[in-house]
Amino acid sequence: MDYKDYTVKDFLHDELFRKWVEHPDHDTKLFWETWMCENPDQCNTLEEARDVLLMIGTEEYTPTTEDQAEVWSRIAYTIRETPQKKTAFTVWRYAAVFLGVIAVAGWLFLHRGKAVVLNYATTYGETKKIVLPDSSVVRLNANSTLRCSINRNGTREIWLNGEGFFSVVHDRNNGPFLVHTSDVDVQVIGTEFNVNTRRVMTRVILNNGAIKLKLNGEDQQDIKIKPGEMVSYSTATHQLSRRNVNPADYNAWLDNMFVFNETPIAEVAIVLQENLGINLNIEGQDLQKELFTGSIPMSDVAIFFRTLSRSLHVVIEKKDNNSYSIRRKNNQ
């Protein structure tokens, strides 16, 4: 066997090669040293395979699909910034650092060159901090899903359902960062902003920086948003609104709080259902229109009930773990 057409994967599965790397003896050392002298054009492939096998070791380990994909997305982004001659060593050391499991490096090497899609999800009452390969950060709110695609050409794409707060790092090679919803495509330069896709519409609030919205649908013009602006748009209804807001009120969930400023109780109920899975049955349209101003900790919604009970003179009854009814005392 001459091994001249072997790839890294082929070497990793070859018994004689593995013996040379893991349990070398005089004969195997002599064979491979002679082979390298006779095949200098294949030395790089052989050395890369050797580095991978040394990192993998003899212990068997099967990383989860999410671990594999996440590590590779970070590696793929690093490869684009790394000189070619240093790629092999840098990549595998980088992988080991991120997972703490050296064996993943071998799997990653055999799958490099592919775009990687990462999936994240949160349940009711749960938030999650996601650090992307380019060091951009996404804070995913409760009851939300996020899909992220990282390509080696620098393109970063996000598909969001629910709510997320984005802190985007500018790519030095001007690679685009795109956030897709059913209503808009958010084109980012480098900024912080909040995106909410609930209630058959998308709401985008810009903290700082600059973003452009490409509205889905025919004859829709792109919109550039200024810091402190909120744009809401629905493809289904074609409704578009734009106004100045205090971003901190809409981003309070980052600190596990809900902040309301003269908000109808019916609207508060919707927020609690969307984020915590709590269902409120508010009896009477007049009570639904009552305004609430205050903060509600996501971990202690009972504070909201106590405030309502004192200020609006209502009776609150718990139906089960996630359902409550609210009615005025004079309706008893």
238 near 217, Cβ under 8 Å? yes
Tell me which of 110, 142, 161 is where a domain ends: 110
H helix or E strand, kind and range, residue 206: strand 202-208
Answer whether residue 27 shows pLDDT above 90. no
Mean pLDDT for the chain? 81
Question: What's the CATH code of the domain at 296?
Answer: 3.55.50.30
Tell me which of 85, 110, 135 is where a domain ends: 110
The predicted pLDDT at position 73 comes to 55
Tell me which of 248, 277, 298 is where a domain ends: 248
Q: Are residues 283 and 232 in the same domain?
A: no
Structural domain for 138, as ranges: 116-248
Interatomic CA distance for residues 221 and 318, integer angstroms: 48
94 near 53, Cβ under 8 Å? no
Query: Residue 29 class from Cβ within 10 Å (0-12 exposed, 13-18 middle, 19+ buried)?
Result: exposed
Q: Are residues 127 and 195 in the same domain?
A: yes
Answer whether residue 224 shows pLDDT above 80. yes
> What global pTM score does this model have?
0.66
142: closest CA among 300, 307, 256, 291? 256
Answer whether residue 319 shows pLDDT above 70. yes
pLDDT digit string, tens, across residues 182-202:
999 999 877 899 999 998 899
Count of structural domains, the chain: 3
3-state secondary structure 229-242: EEEEECCCCCCEEE
Phi, psi at residue 247, to the nearest 5°? -55, -30
List the single range of 104-113, 190-199, 265-274 with lowest mean pLDDT.
104-113
**Strand 156-161 relative to strand 177-180: parallel, antiparallel, unpaired?**
parallel
Q: Is residue 85 assigned to a domain?
A: yes
